[in-house]
A and B are shown apart, each in its own frame.
Chain A
Amino acid sequence: MFHWLEERPFFFAVGVFTVVSFAGLIEILPNFAEASRPTVGTKPYSTLELAGRHVYIADSCNACHSQLIRPFKSETDRYGMYSLSGEYAYDRPFLWGSKRAGPDLHRVGAYRTTDWHENHMWEPVSVVPGSIMPAYKHMFSNQADIETAYAEAVTVNKVFNVPYNTNITMRDGSTANVKLPATYDEAKADVLAEAKIIASGMKNQDVKDAVERGEIPQIVALIAYLNSLK
C-alpha cells in the first residue's frame, strides 16, 4: 500500500494541504478575538489623520521606519514606552515595518512638533545632519485624498464597528469622541478645521495659502497623522 501517494495526485495534494494548513489553524485563527481589544486611551483616527496615514503608505515610509518599540531598555530610552498590542486595535493595515533605516516612529508625536516635521520633510539634513532620508517636497504641493480617507473611516465604522461618534475614556480619565459626520460635505468642513490648526504651526506660505483656499496638501495630513502617534 505504500508508495501510494506519489501515484495519486489528488490524495497527494490533499496530504500537502492538510500538513501546510495545520500551522495556520492552530496558530493564527484562534487568537483573533483576544488580540484585537483596544487599550485604554486608544482612539480611532480622524479623517485627516487617516488621509495622512494614506500618504505615509503611498510613499512607503514603512520601508525604512518601524512602528514597534521592543521591550528593551535601549529601545524605551530611545523611543518611549514599549508598544502594547491594544494600541494597534485601529491600525488597518499594521505598519510595524521590518527594517530601521531610520528611527522608530511609534511615539514620534510625543517628542516631535509640527514645525520639526515641516522642516524635516522639506529638507531632512536641515534638522538631522548626515541624514540619508530623501526630501519629500512633492507632499507640499500634492493634495491629500480626503474623500478616500472618509470612505475608509465609514467602512471601518460600518464593517468592523470602529467606535466613531462614541465617548472613549482616555488614560488621564478625560473622554474623547472622534467625529465621523454622516455626509462627506460635513466631513470636509471638519477636516479643514483640523487642517487649519496644523497649518497655523507651519511656516511654508504656499501650504498656508492652500489651506486658506480650502485645500489640504499632503504634508498637512501627514503631520496630523505623525502627531497622533503617541
Chain B
Amino acid sequence: MELGQIQAYAYFFFTAFLVVSLYAYIFHLYRAEKKGTRNYEKYGNLALNDEVSTNPIETVGGAREPLKK
C-alpha cells in the first residue's frame, strides 16, 4: 500500500470515528438531561456565580474544603 492510500484510509476512519464520538457525546448529554439523571446547563452558571466567596457547584474531590460564606 502506498503512503497516499494509508493517508486516505487514516483520514477517512479517524474522521468517521471523531464524528461518531462527538455525536454520541452530544446524544448522551441530551438523553441524560431528558431522563433527569444530570443537569448540564447548571455549569453555565459558572460565569455568573464567580465571586471567590461563593460556593463551587462541585468541589475538586476531597483535597480542599469548599469556601464558607
Q: Do chains A and B touch in the complex (CB under 8 A)?
A: yes
A30–B25 CB distance below 8 A: no
Residue interface mask A1-44, B partner, CB < 8 A = 1 = 01100100000000000010010001000100000000000000
How far is it, in angstroms, between the C-alpha of A30 and the C-alpha of B7 when the chains are bound? 8
Chain A residues packing against B (C-beta within 8 Å) = 2-3, 6, 19, 22, 26, 30
Q: Which residues of chain B have C-beta atoms less than 8 A from A22's C-beta?
A: 14
Contacts A22-B14, A26-B11 given; does A2 touch B25 at CB 8 Å: yes
Query: In the assembled complex, how far is the CB of residue B41 from the closest CB belonging to chain A, in whole angstroms?
Result: 12
- A3-B40, A26-B10 are known; give 9 further A-B pairs, CB within 8 A: A2-B25, A2-B28, A2-B32, A3-B29, A6-B43, A22-B14, A26-B11, A30-B3, A30-B4
Interface size on B, residues (CB 8 A): 14
Interface of B is mostly: helix
Interface of A is mostly: helix
Interchain CB contact (< 8 A) of A19 among B11, B18, B32, B40: B18
Chain B residues packing against A (C-beta within 8 Å) = 3-4, 7, 10-11, 14, 18, 25, 28-29, 32, 38, 40, 43
How far is it, in angstroms, between the C-alpha of A148 and the C-alpha of B29 when the chains are bound? 60
How far is it, in angstroms, between the C-alpha of A175 and the C-alpha of B34 when the chains are bound? 76
5 contacts between A and B (CB under 8 A): A3-B29, A19-B18, A26-B7, A30-B4, A30-B7
Query: In the assembled complex, how far is the CB of residue A1 from the closest CB belonging to chain B, in whole angstroms?
Result: 9
Q: Which residues of chain B have C-beta atoms less than 8 A from A2's C-beta?
A: 25, 28-29, 32
How far is it, in angstroms, between the C-alpha of A19 and the C-alpha of B25 when the chains are bound? 15
A3–B3 CB distance below 8 A: no
Nearest A residue to B14 by beta-carbon distance? A22
How far is it, in angstroms, between the C-alpha of A3 and the C-alpha of B42 when the chains are bound? 13
B38–A3 CB distance below 8 A: yes
How far is it, in angstroms, between the C-alpha of A217 and the C-alpha of B28 when the chains are bound? 70
